[in-house]
Structures are given as C-alpha cells and as structure tokens.
Amino acid sequence: MSLLVVGSVAFDAVKTPFGEVDEALGGSATYFSTSASYFTDVAVVAVVGSDFPEKHLVSLKSRGIDIEGIERKEGKTFRWKGEYGYELNEAKTLDTQLNVFESFKPVLPDSYKSRKVVFLANIDPDLQRDVLNQVKEPALVACDTMNFWISGKRDSLVKTLKSVDMLLINDGEARQLANEPNLVKAASKIMSMGPKTLVIKRGEYGALMFTRKEIFAAPAYPLEAVFDPTGAGDSFAGGFMGYLANTMNFEPSNIRKAIIFGSVMASFNVESFSLDRLKSLDYKEIEARFREFKRLTHFEDLG
C-alpha cells in the first residue's frame, strides 16, 4: 500500500533521431514515482538544486506523489546529457553533472519510515543503505544499480545486495556483476549474493525474472513509434513495484503480473520525450495494454 523510492531528480538533455529536448524533467526517482503513482501511494527521497522550478514539484504532487522527502539545496540540480542512435537501444552518455547529488545525505521524514515497500533506484550503494537503514520494518526491498557502481564501488554494492529481496538490472550489468557471460549462470551467482528474485531488463527484448525455482520471460511491447528510451528502466521498475505495493502479494505468480505491468509502463514511456506520455495516462489504457501483452504472448497448449 505504501511505496518509498530513493533516486535522482534531474534535468536531462536528450537527442534521438526523432528530435531533442533540453532541460527536460528526468531522473530515476521522477520516472519511477510517476509510473508507480498509477498503482499506489509513493513517497520520494531525492535532492534538487535552487534552480529547480516549483512547477515540476507541483506536477509530481498532482499525481499524488509525496514529495516531502525531496530536499532543496543551494546549488544546481543533477544534469544528464545523452544521445541515442537509430536502433535506440543504448544511450551514449555525453555529460553527467552530479551537482547537489555530490554531497547528498538522505534524511527520511518521519512519515516515510514506516513505508513497507522500498525501491533503491540507481544511486551510490552507500546512499542506498543509508536510506534503507532509516526504514523500520520493510516487507519488500528492491534495488537497481549500474556498471559505474559495479566496477567502482563493488564492495559497497555487495553489502547493499545482502539486504535486498530483489535486484533489477539490465543484462550487460548482470553479466558484469557475476563475471559470467551465460545469463542463467550469472543469475544463479547473483541470487547467491542476496536477492531471492532477479529481474533482468533487456530493453526492446523484454525482461526475465529468475528465482531459485523458476524463470519467467516477458517480451517488450513492439512499438511503431519509439521516440525516447530515457527512463524506460525506471518506468518499468515503477509499474513493477507499484503493482507489488498495491497488492502486497510477493508470490512468483504475482511477480509475473508485476513484470507485465512494468513492461506496460515502460512501453508508454518510450512513446514520448521526458514524462509527456507517462504523466497523463488513464488506468484503462494501462489495463488495455496489459491485455495486449496477453494477446502478444499467448499460444495454445499441446493438444
């Protein structure tokens, strides 16, 4: 029923073959919370600079997102600049300015401390644990990470992994983290590091879920118009965790449904730049696309 996310709120400059935006609202916590807001209450822990316009905070609040934990600090907001080629699969990062994120020490508002479902988006694994340690009795903890932390802060990341139930990363990161090219073996190694459930995001190829007992494969929704993949992974995580927080059912069969909801949200997100499509959905559209995923993947049993 109550979801907490720590991550970035950022300004993105993004160029794709279909256009470009500058100073667009972005960041993992922004995409995550907007996506999750269709399913559950979500509270955000993040930091913005003195240059961050009030209208963006109002926009998040208008989706019912709790922004009490978004700290405003003297200085500039986190900025990311990236570019995508025609295949739209991987961003080339052109510039990253941590700015106010560099000295961020997250302090949770009291009302956040009893949240039951926690998502530690892709930030410094030290900060991920700082936040987690302030939550009283979480029922489900998941985290994301990236190559930068896997190579640069591996020991700290391994500590974080010991405390999480689920890890959501992409396939390249899974191979890097496990130091193993075969994805099935890599998954097994990663689960021995802590997370009982591993969700591997594969962009246009969908997602895989691994537990000790089963594997689930979900495709991505084939879209005729992909404009900007920025935030797809975080929108996926938002739909995934939002649905789990709403249902509070962490059985594998429900995690499978959550993966489809995550895939649905990611598919909407890439249809526009920034949060343009994601912030103005109708829940009926979400359900309709869930049904599309069923049609997309269904085949008859053996006769």
Site residues, a copy of itself (CB under 8 A): 17, 86-88, 181-185, 202, 204-206, 208, 214-219, 222-226, 253, 256-257, 259-260, 287, 290-291, 294-302
User: Which C-beta is closer to a copy of itself: that of 71 or that of 204?
Assistant: 204
Q: Cβ(137)–Cβ(162) under 8 Å? A: no
Shortest CB 142 distance to a copy of itself, Å:
19
User: Which C-beta is closer to a copy of itself: that of 87 or that of 102?
Assistant: 87
| Four-CA torsion 280, 282, 287, 289, nearest 10 degrees | -40
How many CB atoms lie under 10 A from the CB of residue 53? 13
Q: Which of the 8 DSSP states describes residue 66? A: B
123-95-169 Cα angle (round to 5): 35
46-33-267 Cα angle (round to 5): 135
What does residue 13 show for φ and ψ, rounded to 5 degrees? -115, 115
Task: State the pairing for strand pair 215-218/2-6.
Answer: unpaired
Shortest CB 202 distance to a copy of itself, Å:
7
Shortest CB 272 distance to a copy of itself, Å:
15
Shortest CB 232 distance to a copy of itself, Å:
15
User: Which C-beta is closer to a copy of itself: that of 206 or that of 233?
Assistant: 206
Residue owning tokens 């689960």: 191
Shortest CB 104 distance to a copy of itself, Å:
36
